[in-house]
Amino acid sequence: MKINQLDDPRTAKARKRKGRGIAAGSGKTAGRGTKGQKSRSGGGVRPHFEGGQTPLVRRLPKLPGFRSHRLKALTVYTGQLDDVKTNSKVIDNYVLKQVGLIEDEYANVKLIKRGEVKSGHRLQLQAASKAAVAALEAAGGGFERSARPKRPASDKKRARREGKQPAVAKKKMPAQANVVK
C-alpha cells in the first residue's frame, strides 16, 4: 500500500455519472431538462445578461474618482525626537504613543527629517526617509524597520458568541516602555 492509495471515505462523495441511460436515474437529459438554451452543450447566457433589457451593471453610473483603502502612515519628525525622555533602549510605536507623538500605536509610523537630531536614539518603526535615517545615524542613533504591531482581538466578538456581556478591553503596553516626563 502507498500513501496515494489511501482512501478516506469522508473526503468526497462519489461523482454522479450523468447521461448514461434512462435506467441510471439521471440519464437521457442528464438533469438539464428538455430543450432550451441552457440544455445545449456550451449553452447559457453571459454574466449580467437580463434577457435583453439594459442590465443593472450598465444602468448604474460610472462614478469618477478612486478611494484608496490603504493605511496612511502617521508621521513623526526628527526634531520631535529630542523631546522624548524614556528609560527604554528602543523607541517604538508604544513609546511614541505614551509620549503623545502619535494617537494610535497600532498604525504605521514613518520618520521624516524635519528639524535637527541632537540625541542618538534607536528607533524601531515601520518606515523612515533616507534623510531621516542619515540624520539619526549622524547623531549616534540607529533605525531598524519593524512590522506594524497587531491590534489585539476584541473581546466583544467572543462575548457575543458565548452570549455574555462584552468585557472592557484593556490595552496592554510592553514592560520596556517606562516613560520619564
The pLDDT, as a whole number, for residue 24 is 87
**pLDDT band at residue 6, thresholds of 50, 70 and 90?**
confident
The cell for 179 is 516613560
pTM of whole model > 0.75? Answer: no
The cell for 165 is 456581556
Q: 53: which DSSP letter?
A: S
Mean pLDDT across the stretch 12-40?
90
**pLDDT band at residue 163, thresholds of 50, 70 and 90?**
low
> Which residues, 6 or more positions from 87, have their beta carbon under 8 angstroms from its beta carbon?
178, 179, 180
The pLDDT, as a whole number, for residue 108 is 93
Domain boundaries of the chain, sorted by first residue: 71-181
Taking only the tens place, the pLDDT of each residue in 51-81 is 999 999 999 999 899 888 888 899 999 999 8
More confident residue, 35 or 157: 35
Per CATH, the number for 71-181 is: 3.100.10.10
In this predicted structure, the answer to whether residue 154 has a pLDDT above a threshold of 90 is no
Distance between CA atoms of residues 17 and 36, nearest Å: 22
More confident residue, 30 or 14: 30
The pLDDT, as a whole number, for residue 118 is 86
In this predicted structure, the answer to whether residue 157 has a pLDDT above a threshold of 70 is no
Distance between CA atoms of residues 97 and 10, nearest Å: 52
The cell for 153 is 482581538
| Coil/strand/helix, residue 43 | coil
Residue 136 backbone phi and psi in degrees, to 5: -65, -45
**pLDDT above 90 covers what percent of the chain?**
52
Picking from 83, 115, 79, the residue whose alpha carbon sits closest to that of residue 99 is: 83
